Structure 1
Amino acid sequence: MATERQDGALVLFSGGQDSTTCLAWALDRFQRVETVGFDYGQRHRVELDCRARLRTELGKINRNWPNRLGDDHTISLSALGEISDTALTQDIEIEMASTGVPNTFVPGRNLIFLTFAAALAYRRGLKHVVGGMCETDFSGYPDCRDDTIKALQVALNLGMESRFVLETPLMWIDKAATWQLAKHLGGQPLVDVIIEDSHTCYLGERGHRHDWGFGCGVCPACELRANGYSKFIAEDAGGTEIPNG
């Protein structure tokens, strides 16, 4: 267990693998943890429906976590979906755009998410804002990069006269290490909860269960999750220790 912090945290909690791991990471560190999800008309809106069960199941894994887990918030950002002509918000085929970034990229999404989260954290008296952004094993989204997060942290603190810390525990680890971090935080029970109850598939497919969880199996999110799980299983069987992110 990490050293417990007295100040609180707000976790960007979509209902996916990464955000569930981040929630466990925060619960391991902070006395008070709240969660926030965003409804922007995403095709995989089913992820939001997973959040309540995930919060309940995480509370069964560690006896300290239920007392630390506070309120959940859902913020409607329908305008973001309305102005976004992407494969995450429109019923179009997922493909690589001419920019070299998949057309699942929703411009400004993480900037908007973190800004709204910081505004909520300000009101709730929470210093730490935790997100699952990662630039080690990702789809190339520019708003997932460490430089972007650091720049936004400066802007938010200046604009709100605050001292927010934007925490990104997955920034420098790959998907295999994310699985390993989950096991480190909550053992096999947390790994099992992520497999059974979280959702990452961009198409919102929950009809087929793979070894790594539910999904279409072919979208970029599923491919990253599946490849990471295969590597995690191989390394875990070989006794490879992946550092705690």
Structure 2
Amino acid sequence: MAHDAGALVLFSGGQDSATCLAWALERFATVETVGFDYGQRHRIELDCRDRIRDGLKALKPAWAERLGEDRTIGLDALGQVSDTALTRAVEIETQASGLPNTFVPGRNLIFLTFAAALAYRRGLKHIVGGMCETDYSGYPDCRDDTIKALQVAVNLGMDRRFVLETPLMWIDKAATWRLAEELGGRGLVDLIVEDSHTCYLGERGRRHDWGFGCGTCPACMLRAEGYRRFQAGDADGIGEI
């Protein structure tokens, strides 16, 4: 376990961020969480956060001791300047650029910058996010090079030595399910299935074996396929705890 100055986890209430939170609780003596409300179409994910935090504390006494404060930061301006399928009730489709219209330009850059400002005030060195290059929709702000470049920028701009941690960067969605099982057993997998939210449409009316969601949006399809492969024992790029 690392003990240097604790961690701040970008915690949306989704599968990836819930897994990252468990990863951080296993590694750091102090862990705080932050979520962002930017007018997202699937804002229901923010309502899942308290249940997941409570469930994590119930899984391991050590996690309960390490889990600290939670905050939600309003970023309405991001939603106002974003004309995307995550901030508008429009059909999800691929744009001429090749990117899906679920891409919110600058979102991760803004999230991580605000997180760094909060970590600065809270005295936390490690900032943990669920960005991933292996199973993603081509979002340029999920790339490892982007995160590394931003780490340099925030460290120069704030005169700190933050470490931007991305434990899911090189593993696929099946391996993300496997990592959750390695960290917290079947109890953590079940918690993520029941209480996390990934669906871009904010649908929680239908329960699938992998959780709640519309079942047809890109986020649901990726989560469902990863769960199927995880159950079948087929996961590439298993991460280290």
TM range (shorter): over 0.9
Separation in 2, partners of 1:132, 1:41: 20
2:69 aligned partner:
71
Q: TM-score, normalised by structure 2?
A: 0.98
1:242 aligned partner:
238
Q: Once the two structures are superposed, what CA deviation does each residue of 1:115-162 show, in whole Å capped at 9, x if it has no partner?
A: 000000000000000000000011110000000000000000000000
Counterpart code for 1:226: A
- Is the 2:171–2:237 Cα contact (8 Å) retained in structure 1? no
Alignment map for 1:130-209 (pairs within 5 Å):
130-209=128-207
- 1:212 to 2:210 alignment: yes
- Is the 2:172–2:236 Cα contact (8 Å) retained in structure 1? no
Counterpart code for 1:173: I
Q: Once the two structures are superposed, what CA deviation does each residue of 1:169-203 show, in whole Å capped at 9, x if it has no partner?
A: 00000000000000000000000000000000000
Within the candidate set 213, 230, 233, 2:231 is matched to 233
Structure 1 unaligned residues grouped into runs of 5+: none
1:240 Cα deviation (Å)?
A: 9.1
SS in 1 for 2:164: strand
Q: Once the two structures are superposed, what CA deviation does each residue of 1:183-237 show, in whole Å capped at 9, x if it has no partner?
A: 000000000000000000000000001010000001110011001001100017x
Identity of matched residues, %: 74
Alpha carbons of 1:124 and 1:94: their partners in 2 closer, same or farther (altered >3 Å)? Answer: same
1:63 Cα deviation (Å)?
A: 1.2
- Is the 1:4–1:28 Cα contact (8 Å) retained in structure 2? no
Counterpart code for 2:89: D
Indicate the larger mover: 9-18 or 59-68: 59-68
Indicate the larger mover: 108-117 or 95-104: 95-104
> What is the number of residues matched between the two proteins?
241
Alpha carbons of 1:154 and 1:91: their partners in 2 closer, same or farther (altered >3 Å)? Answer: same
1:113 aligned partner:
111
Counterpart code for 1:135: E
Runs of 4+ in 1 over 3 A off after TM superposition: 239-243
Counterpart code for 1:171: M
